[in-house]
Amino acid sequence: KGRESDPCWLRYERIEDEALADQYRQWCKKLVVCGSSPILDSAREELVAGISSMLGISPTLSRDPQVSPSLVMAAPSEGRNWVDRRSWEEMGEEGYLLKTAHREGGASLLLLGKSDRGVLYGVFHLLRLMQIGRPLHSLEIVENPGNRLRMINHWDNLDGSVERGYAGKSIFYHGGRIARRLDRVRDYARLLASTGINAISINNVNVGREECRLITGSLLPDVARLADVFRAYGIRMFLSVNFASPMWIGGLPTADPLDPEVRRWWRERTEEIYRHIPDFGGFVVKADSEHQPGPLTYGRDHAEGANMLAEALRPHGGLVVWRCFVYNFQDWRDRSTDRARAAYDHFKPLDGRFADNVVLQIKNGPMDFQVREPVSPLFGAMERTNQMLELQITQEYTGQQKDLCFLVPQWKEVLDFDTHAEGKGSTVKAVVGGQVFPFRYSGIAGVSNVGDDRNWTGHTLAQANLYGFGRLAWNPDLSAEEIAEEWVRLSFGHDPRVVQTIRDMLLESWRVYESYTAPLGIGWMVKPGHHYGPDVDGYEYSYWGTYHYADHRGIGVDRTVKTGTGFTGQYFSPNRERYESLETCPDELLLFFHHVPYTHRLKSGETVIQHIYNTHFEGVERVEDFIRRWTRLKGKIDEERYEHVLSKLQEQLANAREWRDVINAYFFRKSGIPDEKGRKIY
Ligand code: GCW
């Protein structure tokens, strides 16, 4: 850990194609920089560092716009003069323009933003083009982000541990304090900004007693140091707060949101935070969920709780990100309660009651970041309430950064899902992009997969998830293929065999992971607590509400309106009918919505039991195939990353075998139905 950390996709390796490098040098040897601010300075530094490293030159810096040819990087106030009105107006608040302009007396490459942030994003885009080897002589690019909030959530604790972290310890905290040296944090801010992230919450949503101190005078000066680092990269800082803070650190007898003393306490706390961090983003809140305190304790509802905090933040322009991951513990004997229903049942009735600086943060699925889940029916269901999507970049249920699982294809399915909230075309990405209803705030948050491991993410290829998350939050229309290929080129260079192998492995990996774990959307067959490895009945009789109901005849949860928990009724038509009917329910979600016999025939033509056997045998073979493909890259990528990924793939193989054998044996014993192909089941 004393060694330098991995640069991830910001490697800026020397461009070997001399003709191309020469062409770039023409544009980049003179740099005209108009304007200065912390963000513009970061942008300029990044640009100069990237150019020097890739092209082996130090650009001359000038403020004279007449030098030609040159690269002109201009702040909003000055950029205005460089382009016609139409081009200028195409840019939104955080947008940028990259354009090769041939003018009288010479040519220049214009890099303009509507804000300092926009300029920074433009710099990263330009550097990306060069790393990927794109020509620059006829650029005409205007980009605007598809989401207003592009946020990273950390589940880091002050003692340095990270809840659901699989990449070492926190990069923010050591032993109850905020890290003294922040170089690592600065590199992190660069990585995030390079993909367009503009907000970050830096502590776990499960806020312990120690972490409550983050909003007090004892820690705020240190929190402010972190905020300074992020600010220079256009990233606003948020903190997770504990709803009972007035009691825990304020000495009040209650945390009732309607109590005037409580309200005053939060107002004063907030004022103090803003004295230290003038552009503080706001609070992230997990309330009345999994033992976290909340307004329900005082007979108040979520809107009353959130609005109380919103009132304290409003004068300063802050937001409340209120999580909808709320459900009641359950008795497995109780067949009528359904955890999948919970978020909708709790929040839908409150539509219209939340203040306009509250955003509800909704997990992609109704349960909890499983390998496969339907999309939460809450998206689009609250037209008068700001909504944002929460994804889990950290691979809690998807291989824990031991197994390869590139999540962008899963996220794409979520974003492209049509909720039909306002008729056809009301996709999740349109809802959280604010295009279906005029939300004041909306966007996407992802739970970080980063720790202090030298490679940031445990599994080096898991860097692609962090990268992909940011890219999708910026532009949800990018395809998984584009993102995968871009990431591989930035991280491993352009050797065609390398690009093709890693790209394909990434793109296949989520479905491979799905194939050897819990089948057909049922989820949860993981070891309780840490959630890695198979345990079919691990959660079957517990209070978490995560059941599969397998017996000797069949498996699955009946969530239909007709005979089940009624969950399908939370969707808009025609999704409601599609999931309700056994005929139209997609195979991959069958057991999420229906209880069926093992002999039930899927659309694929296989029976459920045979599907379980086939996918589990196949999953292991696919991992073996990953290993074969990877070994053909020996010598084509650096030894360190080669060996590292190889050892991860071997770990994955052991895991896949364990899953295969446990799942197949379990269902063979339950059903008594042998594998048609006579393979070995234990
Ligand atoms: O997925 C579950 C995790 C918890 C987490 C919780 C949440 C932060 O197992 O570790 O707590 O979700 O999202 O609040």
- DSSP annotation string for 180-248: S--HHHHHHHHHHHHHT--EEE-S-SS--HHHHGGGSTTTHHHHHHHHHHHHTTT-EEEEE--TTHHHH
The finding on whether 396 has its CB within 6 A of some atom of ligand 1 is yes
pLDDT at residue 2 is higher than 70: no
Rounded average pLDDT over 353-375: 98
Beta carbons within 8 Å of 6's beta carbon, 6+ residues apart: 454, 455, 456, 460, 463
- For 157-189, how does the pLDDT look when each residue is reduced to its tens digit (9 = 90+)? 999 999 999 999 999 999 999 999 999 999 999
The finding on whether 397 has its CB within 6 A of some atom of ligand 1 is no
The finding on whether 544 has its CB within 6 A of some atom of ligand 1 is no
446 bridge partner residues? 152, 391
Q: Which of 163, 326, 363 to mutate to test the pocket of ligand 1 (most atoms within 8 A of CB)?
A: 163
Query: In terms of DSSP bridges, do strands 30-34 and 387-392 run parallel, antiparallel, or are they unpaired?
Result: unpaired
Residue nearest to atom 11 of ligand 1 (CA): 206
The Cα–Cα gap between 223 and 228 comes to: 9
The finding on whether 325 has its CB within 6 A of some atom of ligand 1 is yes
Rounded average pLDDT over 407-431: 98
- C-alpha 117 chain-centroid distance: 20
State the pLDDT confidence band at 102, using cuts at 50, 70 and 90: confident
Q: Which of 325, 389, 449 to mutate to test the pocket of ligand 1 (most atoms within 8 A of CB)?
A: 325
Structure tokens at 232: 């220079």
- The ligand 1 atom nearest the CA atom of 206: 8
672 half-sphere exposure, CB direction, 13 A CA radius: 3
Which residue among the candidates 6, 256, 396, 580 is catalytic per the annotation?
396
State the pLDDT confidence band at 99, using cuts at 50, 70 and 90: very high
Q: What is the DSSP letter of 658?
A: H
Determine the distance separating the centroid of ligand 1 and the alpha carbon of 529, expressed in angstroms: 11
The finding on whether 369 has its CB within 6 A of some atom of ligand 1 is yes
The finding on whether 232 has its CB within 6 A of some atom of ligand 1 is no
- Whether this model's ipTM surpasses 0.85 comes out as yes
Burial class (CB in 10 A: 0-12, 13-18, 19+), 48: middle
Rounded average pLDDT over 393-397: 98
Beta carbons within 8 Å of 260's beta carbon, 6+ residues apart: none
Which residue among the candidates 94, 211, 288, 368 is catalytic per the annotation?
368
Determine the distance separating the centroid of ligand 1 and the alpha carbon of 140, expressed in angstroms: 43
The Cα–Cα gap between 144 and 98 comes to: 12
Task: Say if CB 576 and CB 344 are below 8 A apart.
Answer: no
Determine the distance separating the centroid of ligand 1 and the alpha carbon of 286, expressed in angstroms: 10
Rounded average pLDDT over 188-200: 98
Rounded average pLDDT over 217-226: 97
Residue nearest to atom 3 of ligand 1 (CA): 164
State how far the alpha carbon of 450 is from the alpha carbons of 6, 205, 435, 454, 476, in Å: 12, 16, 31, 10, 22
Residue nearest to atom 7 of ligand 1 (CA): 325
State how far the alpha carbon of 265 is from the alpha carbons of 252, 317, 436, in Å: 9, 18, 37
The Cα–Cα gap between 529 and 337 comes to: 22
State how far the alpha carbon of 658 is from the alpha carbons of 413, 517, 526, 611, in Å: 28, 10, 12, 18
290 labelled catalytic: yes
- For 608-645, how does the pLDDT look when each residue is reduced to its tens digit (9 = 90+)? 999 999 999 999 999 999 999 999 999 999 999 999 99
Q: State the pLDDT at residue 35.
A: 87
The finding on whether 502 has its CB within 6 A of some atom of ligand 1 is no
Rounded average pLDDT over 98-106: 83
- For 319-363, how does the pLDDT look when each residue is reduced to its tens digit (9 = 90+)? 999 999 999 999 999 988 999 999 999 999 999 999 999 999 999
Q: Return the residue matching tokens 């939300």.
A: 439
State the pLDDT confidence band at 231, using cuts at 50, 70 and 90: very high
- The ligand 1 atom nearest the CA atom of 205: 8
Q: What is the DSSP letter of 485?
A: H
The finding on whether 169 has its CB within 6 A of some atom of ligand 1 is no
Rounded average pLDDT over 218-227: 97
State the pLDDT confidence band at 83, using cuts at 50, 70 and 90: confident
The finding on whether 648 has its CB within 6 A of some atom of ligand 1 is no
CA torsion through residues 592, 593, 594, 600, sign: negative
Which residue among the candidates 290, 537, 551, 640 is catalytic per the annotation?
290
Q: State the pLDDT at residue 1.
A: 43
Rounded average pLDDT over 273-300: 97
DSSP H or E stretch at residue 408: helix 408-416
Q: State the pLDDT at residue 3.
A: 65
Rounded average pLDDT over 515-522: 97
Q: State the pLDDT at residue 64.
A: 76
Burial class (CB in 10 A: 0-12, 13-18, 19+), 658: middle
DSSP H or E stretch at residue 110: strand 106-113
